[in-house]
C-alpha cells in the first residue's frame, strides 16, 4: 500500500501545469480506486481479526476451564481408585511388560513389608529371594504374549517359615491401540480355606470309612442272619416231608411264611443299604426280555391265583427279544411292583403291560405298566409313596406288612436305568404303577448255533436225574438242607467240610458238579477252586487229552459287590444264593452247560 501512496504522491508532485494534471488524472484516479479497495480490505481484515480474537479467546478460556475440570476430575477418579485399591483385601499389583512392579495396593505392601516406592521397577525376587518364581513368571509371560487372562493360579509361598496358599488371577493391560503394556495381578490368601479343605477332606475320608464299615457290617450281618434263616427254611422244608398232623403242618407253614418274609425284609434292607453306600451291583449284559417275563409270570401267577385274581403279562411284539441291561434288577422292580399290586388287590385282576415308548439309535426306551383293580392310592398317599420307609399310612403297614423300602428301591433302580417311575390311581378304584427303562440295543446278528460238548450233552441229559455232586460246605445245617435237596432230586452227594478236603476229594473222585461255599475255615472256596482248576490243567497237559471241565458253582450267602467277580476270577462257572432250590440249580447248570451263561458280564 505504501508503494501505492508513494506513487500517488510522486505523481501529484510532478504536476507542474494543468496539462500535466490532465495527463496523469486517470492514472491517479485509478490508483486512488485501488487505494480505496485496499483500505476496505484492511478494514475488513481488522474487523475480522477482532472477531477472531474475541472468539478464539473465548474458546481458549472455555477449553482451558474444561481442561482444568478434566484434570481435577481425573485427580478425583485417581483418588477414588486408590481408595478402592487400598480397600481390597487381596494383593493387587500392576507390572509392566518387563514384569517389573509399577503399582501395588496397601494389602500388597503390608504382605511383603515393603513400600511401593521400594518396589517400582523391581521384580518379585527382590523381596522374596527364596521364592522360585520361574513357573509363575512363565504364566505371566503367557498373559503378556496371548493378551488373555489366566485365572486361579494356586501356589504355596513360604514366608517366616509358614506355608501361605495363594490364588491369583492375571489379566493383561492394554493401551488404546490394543497393545499389551503390562498386566494386573490379584492374589488372595487362601490359607484358611486350604486348611479347612484339608480338614474337610480328612473328615470326608473318615465319614466314608464309617460308611464302608457300616455297609460291611450290614453285609456281614445279612450273611450271619441269612445262615440261620436258611437253616430254619430248609429245615421246615425237610420237616414238611415227614408225616405230620394237620395242625403241625399248618404251624410249619406259618413258620415257613414268616421265615420267607423275614428273609425278603432282610434282602430289602440289604439292597437299600447297598444303594445308600453306592455299592449296588449294576451290570449291563445281554438278556432275553421274554424269558425274563416268563420267569416273572411263573413266580407270580400262583400267588395271584391263590387270591383268586386274574394275572397276565402282555408284551408288545415290536420289542426285540434281546436287550442289554441288568435283567436281575429289572426283574426285581417288576416283581416288587407286581407283588405290591397283588398284595393290595382283593378281587379283579393284575396285569403287566410292556410297551415300546421310543426307539433311539443305541437304546430302546421301554414302558412297563402294572395295572391292578386294588385299593388304589389317595392323592396324599401318592406324595410320599416313593420315599424310604413310607407306606400310605400306619394302618396299611399293620394290615399288609412290608418295610416300605420296596418302592424306594425300585425308584433308585429305575433312575439307574435312566428311567422314570410314577403311578396313576383313583382311591379305591385300582392303580397303575409305571416306569420306563432305557435298555441297550443288541445288534441282531445271526448267532452261530452253540455247539455243546459231548460231556456237557451227557450232563444236560442227566440234570434232572442222577448227577454226582461234591458239596463243599462247613455249616452243618446248610449241609443238611443241601444234601436233602440234592438227594431228593436224585443226585449222589459227596460232602467236603472245607476247601482243603474238597481239593483232596476232587483229586480222587469223579464228579459232575462241585458246589462250593465261599467262606470256610482251613481253605476258602476261592483258593480251593484255583487249586482244582490247576489240577485240571495239569492233568490235561500231562495226558495230552482234553480233560472234562467240572462246573464249579459258588454257594453265596453274601452278595456284596465284587464277590461275583471274585468267584468268576477264581475259575468258578456261576454262583447261586443259599438256600437254593433244586429247580434253580438245574436251570443254572443248564445255562452253564449249554453256553447260555449271562452272569459273567
Partner 1 sequence: MKTKSFKASQLSMLEAKLSEIINANFKPSLAFVFASVEMDIASVRAAFENYNLVVFGASSCGEIYFDGISEGIYEGSVTVSLVELKQEFFASTLIDGAGLNSMELGKKVGNWGKSLFKSPAFLIAVSGLMANGQEVVEGVLETVGKNTIMFGGLAGDDAHFKETFVFDQHSIIDNAAVAIAFDTDFIDIRGLASSGWVSIGSDKIVTKAIGNKVFTIDNEPALKVYKEYLNIKDDELPEIGVVYPLLVKKDKREVLRAVVGIDKDEQSLVFAGTVPQGSIVTFSTSPGFEVIDHTIKDIRLFFEDAGKVDLMLLFSCMARHRALGPVIAEEINEAMQITGLPVNGFFTYGEIGNNGPSCCDFYNETFTLALITQK
Residues engaged in binding partner 1 (CB under 8 A): 37, 40-41, 44-45, 48-49, 51-52, 54-59, 61-63, 66-67
Distance of closest approach, residue 66 Cβ to partner 1, in angstroms: 7
55 or 534: CB nearest partner 1: 55
62 or 492: CB nearest partner 1: 62
Per this entry, what is the length of the chain?
601
How far is CA 403 from its chain centroid?
A: 29
Q: Provide the edge-to-edge strand list for the sheet that holds 101-104.
A: 101-104, 91-96, 180-189, 162-174, 150-159
Burial, 187: exposed, middle or buried (Cβ in 10 Å; 0-12, 13-18, 19+)? buried
Given CA atoms 21, 23, 24, 25 in this order, what sign does their dihedral have? positive
CA 282 – CA 561 distance, rounded (Å): 9
How far is CA 372 from its chain centroid?
A: 36
Distance of closest approach, residue 38 Cβ to partner 1, in angstroms: 9
Distance of closest approach, residue 72 Cβ to partner 1, in angstroms: 16
Bridge pairing between strands 468-472 and 513-517: parallel
The closest alpha carbon to 570, from 514, 522, 509, belongs to 514
35 or 171: CB nearest partner 1: 35
Distance of closest approach, residue 80 Cβ to partner 1, in angstroms: 22
62 or 358: CB nearest partner 1: 62
**CB-side exposure of 567: number of CA atoms within 13 Å?**
28
Distance of closest approach, residue 28 Cβ to partner 1, in angstroms: 20
**CB-side exposure of 145: number of CA atoms within 13 Å?**
6
63 or 487: CB nearest partner 1: 63
Element (H, E) at 436: strand 431-440
48 or 541: CB nearest partner 1: 48
Distance of closest approach, residue 146 Cβ to partner 1, in angstroms: 30
Distance of closest approach, residue 30 Cβ to partner 1, in angstroms: 13
- Please give the span between the terminal C-alpha atoms of the chain, in angstroms, as a whole number: 116
Distance of closest approach, residue 420 Cβ to partner 1, in angstroms: 56
CA 234 – CA 228 distance, rounded (Å): 10
Element (H, E) at 513: strand 513-517
37 or 507: CB nearest partner 1: 37
The closest alpha carbon to 229, from 510, 486, 579, 552, belongs to 579
CA distances from 186 to 157, 168, 593 (A): 15, 5, 70
27 or 261: CB nearest partner 1: 27
Distance of closest approach, residue 62 Cβ to partner 1, in angstroms: 5
Amino acid at each position: 500500500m505504501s508503494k501505492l501512496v508513494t506513487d500517488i504522491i510522486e505523481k501529484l508532485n510532478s504536476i507542474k501545469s494543468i496539462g500535466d494534471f490532465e495527463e496523469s488524472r486517470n492514472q491517479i484516479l485509478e490508483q486512488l480506486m485501488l487505494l480505496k479497495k485496499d483500505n476496505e480490505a484492511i478494514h475488513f481484515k481488522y474487523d475480522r481479526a477482532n472477531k477472531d480474537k474475541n472468539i478464539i479467546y473465548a474458546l481458549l478460556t472455555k477449553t482451558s476451564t474444561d481442561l482444568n475440570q478434566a484434570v481435577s476430575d481425573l485427580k478425583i477418579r485417581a483418588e477414588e481408585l486408590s481408595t478402592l485399591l487400598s480397600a481390597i483385601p487381596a494383593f493387587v499389583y500392576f507390572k509392566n511388560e518387563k514384569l517389573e512392579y509399577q503399582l501395588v495396593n496397601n494389602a500388597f505392601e503390608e504382605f511383603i513389608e515393603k513400600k511401593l516406592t521400594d518396589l517400582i521397577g523391581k521384580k518379585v525376587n527382590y523381596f522374596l529371594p527364596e521364592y522360585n518364581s520361574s513357573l509363575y513368571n512363565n504364566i505371566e509371560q503367557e498373559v503378556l504374549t496371548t493378551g488373555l487372562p489366566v485365572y486361579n493360579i494356586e501356589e504355596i509361598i513360604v514366608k517366616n517359615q509358614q506355608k501361605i496358599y495363594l490364588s491369583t488371577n492375571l489379566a493383561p493391560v492394554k493401551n488404546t491401540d490394543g497393545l499389551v503394556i503390562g498386566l494386573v495381578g490379584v492374589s488372595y490368601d487362601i490359607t484358611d480355606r486350604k486348611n479347612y479343605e484339608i480338614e474337610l477332606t480328612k473328615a470326608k475320608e473318615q465319614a466314608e470309612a464309617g460308611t464302608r464299615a457300616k455297609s460291611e457290617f450290614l453285609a456281614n450281618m445279612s450273611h450271619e442272619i441269612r445262615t440261620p434263616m436258611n437253616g430254619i427254611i430248609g429245615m421246615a422244608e425237610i420237616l414238611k416231608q415227614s408225616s405230620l398232623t394237620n395242625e403241625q403242618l399248618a404251624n410249619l407253614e406259618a413258620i415257613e411264611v414268616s421265615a420267607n418274609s423275614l428273609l425278603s425284609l432282610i434282602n430289602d434292607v440289604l439292597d437299600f443299604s447297598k444303594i445308600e453306600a453306592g455299592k449296588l451291583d449294576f451290570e449291563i449284559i445281554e438278556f432275553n426280555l421274554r424269558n425274563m417275563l416268563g420267569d416273572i409270570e411263573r413266580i407270580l401267577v400262583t400267588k395271584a391265583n391263590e387270591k383268586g385274581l386274574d394275572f397276565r403279562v402282555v408284551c408288545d411284539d415290536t420289542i426285540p427279544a434281546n436287550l442289554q441291561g441288568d435283567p436281575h434288577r429289572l426283574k426285581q422292580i417288576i416283581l416288587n411292583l407286581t407283588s405290591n399290586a397283588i398284595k393290595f388287590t382283593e378281587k379283579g385282576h393284575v396285569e403287566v403291560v410292556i410297551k415300546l415308548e421310543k426307539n433311539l439309535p443305541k437304546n430302546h426306551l421301554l414302558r412297563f405298566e402294572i395295572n391292578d383293580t386294588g385299593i388304589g392310592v389317595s392323592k396324599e398317599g401318592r406324595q410320599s409313596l416313593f420315599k424310604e420307609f413310607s407306606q400310605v399310612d400306619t394302618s396299611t403297614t399293620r394290615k399288609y406288612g412290608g418295610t416300605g423300602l420296596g418302592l424306594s428301591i425300585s425308584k433308585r433302580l429305575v433312575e439307574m436305568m435312566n428311567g422314570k417311575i410314577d403311578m396313576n390311581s383313583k382311591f379305591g378304584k385300582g392303580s397303575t404303577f409305571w416306569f420306563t427303562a432305557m435298555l441297550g440295543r443288541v445288534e441282531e446278528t445271526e448267532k452261530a448255533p452253540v455247539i455243546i460238548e459231548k460231556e456237557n450233552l451227557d450232563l444236560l441229559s442227566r440234570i434232572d436225574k442222577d448227577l454226582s455232586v461234591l458239596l463243599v460246605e462247613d455249616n452243618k445245617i446248610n449241609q443238611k438242607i443241601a444234601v436233602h435237596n440234592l438227594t431228593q432230586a436224585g443226585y449222589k452227594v459227596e460232602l467236603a467240610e472245607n476247601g482243603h478236603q474238597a481239593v483232596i476229594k476232587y483229586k480222587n473222585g469223579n464228579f459232575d458238579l462241585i458246589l462250593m461255599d465261599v467262606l470256610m475255615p482251613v481253605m476258602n472256596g476261592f483258593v480251593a477252586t484255583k487249586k482244582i482248576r490247576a489240577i485240571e490243567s495239569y492233568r490235561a497237559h500231562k495226558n495230552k487229552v482234553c480233560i472234562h471241565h467240572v462246573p464249579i458253582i459258588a454257594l453265596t450267602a453274601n452278595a456284596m459287590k465284587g464277590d461275583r467277580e471274585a468267584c468268576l476270577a477264581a475259575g468258578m462257572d456261576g454262583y447261586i444264593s443259599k438256600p437254593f432250590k433244586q429247580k434253580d440249580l438245574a436251570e443254572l447248570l443248564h445255562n452253564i452247560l449249554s453256553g447260555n451263561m449271562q452272569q459273567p458280564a
